[in-house]
């Protein structure tokens, strides 16, 4: 390992994408500082990194900081060359008032950017999401690219996605008006899957679990854009290192979408032992619409039904030399994690 004299701050160190980013940065010899909302989470970070193969933690340090407070952000960025701003405010339940989710996302982003600018950080790479790019796109025949933006007032847009659009917009506005010498790059991932380093599984895993454990009796007409967490983490590092990434946003997806039906069929073919309880028939959309009147889960997935948001990963590949794994690899790695962490009994 070459010990770099460059230091990277990764915000939200216990998160699925953040921990894979920390893992790769340490493997590349960077000094890493990560923020956690409580220093009690340090052991969790150590445990996940150990599961990922790291045995030497000399290049890793922690700062306690929360996106909803100014406290410790100046300390967190001091001496850092780069910041990977991956953390997102956490909500255990959907807030009644959307400002409860939108304000922390916007204010937290501005907090990190201001602290980074003031500390002389070279570049921030911010994790936005596909919800900030392609949810107002109407033409299913044309590819969605980084030029696209979601209208934050889009009908049916979730509060979470609205918060991501407005936080990313606020970041670009900040850069234009008061960014100083700071540089910004943004990564917009689609659904993040792949290997989990502990038993706390991210939201995408939950859908696949329900698809396989008998919870779903029929398969809704939903198509997913997919990226493996290892590739999403690598894209953040490429966007950090490459001069061409300055002022750019990059869509993170493996390429092409997969329907839930295609995912089940893939697993029937490759890992038949996990599909014994999986449904085989499609759920007619009119039934889902009816169910959404009474059922919050049905209501939550209804905006995803019958839509193919086909996006391009060409920019990340050509500008940064990114070469992601296939959808199939990301999905099978996810299922292996579900079994490994005892979330799926086979």
Flag whether pLDDT at 342 surpasses 80. yes
Environment class of 339 (CB within 10 Å of its CB; exposed 0-12, middle 13-18, buried 19+): middle
Residue 246 belongs to domain spanning: 7-340
Confidence of residue 302 (pLDDT cuts 50, 70, 90): confident
Flag whether pLDDT at 300 surpasses 80. no
Give pLDDT, residue 298.
82
Q: What integer is the mean pLDDT of 128-156?
A: 92
Which uninterrupted H or E stretch holds 113?
Answer: helix 99-119
Flag whether pLDDT at 129 surpasses 80. yes
Residue whose C-alpha is closest to residue 194's, from 224, 227, 236, 223: 227
Residue whose C-alpha is closest to residue 89's, from 115, 63, 110, 68: 68
> Is the alpha carbon torsion for 40, 42, 48, 50 positive or negative?
negative
Residue 132 included in any domain: yes
- The pair of three-digit structure tokens given for residue 65, joined into one six-digit string: 């900081």
End-to-end Cα separation, the chain, in angstroms: 39
Pairing of strands 7-10, 31-36: parallel
Flag whether pLDDT at 122 surpasses 90. yes
pLDDT tens figures, 185-225:
999 999 999 999 999 988 889 999 999 999 999 999 999 99
Give pLDDT, residue 267.
98
Q: What integer is the mean pLDDT of 313-330?
A: 98
Confidence of residue 1 (pLDDT cuts 50, 70, 90): low
Higher pLDDT, 298 or 340: 340
Higher pLDDT, 308 or 82: 82
Q: 64 to each of 16, 36, 49, 124, 247, how far by Cα in Å?
A: 18, 5, 18, 19, 29
Q: What integer is the mean pLDDT of 133-162?
A: 91
pLDDT tens figures, 15-33:
999 999 999 999 999 999 9
Residue whose C-alpha is closest to residue 325's, from 193, 208, 213, 206: 193
Give pLDDT, residue 139.
81
Helix, strand or coil for residue 156? coil
Looking at the 3D structure of the chain, how many domains does it have?
A: 1
Q: Name the pTM for this structure.
A: 0.96
- The count of other CB atoms within 10 Å of the CB of residue 48 is 22
Residue 39 included in any domain: yes
> Is the alpha carbon torsion for 46, 50, 53, 57 positive or negative?
positive
Higher pLDDT, 148 or 140: 148
Residue 346 included in any domain: no
Give pLDDT, residue 96.
82
Q: What integer is the mean pLDDT of 53-82?
A: 97
Give pLDDT, residue 92.
65
Give pLDDT, residue 201.
87
Check which CATH number belongs to the domain holding 241 and give it: 3.40.50.720
Distance CA 118, CA 277 (A): 55
Residue 189 included in any domain: yes
Residue 117 included in any domain: yes
> Is the alpha carbon torsion for 317, 229, 12, 156 positive or negative?
positive
282-289 contact pairs (CB < 8 A, 24+): 282/218, 282/219, 282/220, 282/221, 283/216, 283/217, 283/218, 283/219, 283/220, 283/221, 285/220, 285/221, 288/220
Flag whether pLDDT at 140 surpasses 80. no
Residue 2 included in any domain: no
Confidence of residue 3 (pLDDT cuts 50, 70, 90): low
Mean pLDDT of the chain: 94
> Is the alpha carbon torsion for 313, 302, 88, 70 positive or negative?
positive
Helix, strand or coil for residue 168? helix
pLDDT tens figures, 215-243:
999 999 999 999 999 999 999 999 999 99
Residue 1 included in any domain: no
Q: What integer is the mean pLDDT of 108-128?
A: 98
Give pLDDT, residue 2.
59
Residue 191 included in any domain: yes
């Amino acid at each position: 390992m070459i010990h770099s004299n460059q230091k990277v701050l990764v915000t939200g160190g216990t998160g699925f994408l953040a921990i894979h980013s920390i893992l790769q940065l340490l493997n590349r010899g960077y000094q890493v500082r990560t923020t956690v909302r409580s220093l009690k989470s340090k052991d969790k970070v150590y445990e996940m990194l150990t599961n990922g193969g790291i045995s030497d933690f000399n290049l890793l340090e922690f700062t306690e900081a929360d996106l909803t407070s100014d406290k410790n952000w100046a300390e967190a960025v001091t001496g850092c060359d780069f910041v990977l701003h991956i953390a997102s405010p956490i909500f255990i339940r959907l807030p009644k008032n959307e400002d409860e989710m939108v304000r922390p996302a916007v204010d937290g982003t501005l907090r990190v950017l201001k602290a980074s600018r003031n500390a002389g950080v070279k570049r921030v790479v911010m994790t936005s999401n596909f919800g900030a790019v392609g949810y107002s796109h109407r033409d299913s025949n044309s590819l969605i690219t980084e030029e696209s933006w979601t209208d934050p007032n889009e009908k049916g847009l979730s509060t979470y996605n609205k918060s991501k659009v407005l936080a990313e917009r606020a970041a670009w506005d900040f850069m234009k008006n008061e960014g100083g010498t700071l540089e910004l790059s943004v990564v917009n991932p689609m659904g993040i899957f792949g290997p989990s380093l502990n038993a706390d599984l991210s939201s995408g895993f939950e859908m696949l679990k329900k698809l396989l454990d008998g919870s779903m009796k029929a398969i809704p007409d939903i198509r997913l854009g997919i990226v493996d967490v290892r590739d999403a983490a690598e894209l953040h590092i490429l966007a950090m290192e490459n001069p061409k990434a300055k002022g750019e946003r990059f869509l993170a997806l493996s390429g092409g979408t997969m329907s839930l039906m295609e995912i089940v069929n893939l697993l029937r073919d490759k890992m038949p032992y996990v599909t014994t309880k999986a449904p085989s028939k499609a759920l007619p959309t009119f039934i889902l619409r009816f169910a959404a009147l009474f059922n919050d889960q049905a209501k939550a997935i209804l905006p995803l039904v019958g839509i193919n948001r086909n996006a391009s990963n060409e920019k990340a590949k050509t500008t940064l030399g990114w070469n992601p794994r296939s959808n199939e690899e990301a999905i099978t790695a996810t299922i292996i994690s579900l079994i490994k962490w005892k979330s799926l009994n086979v």
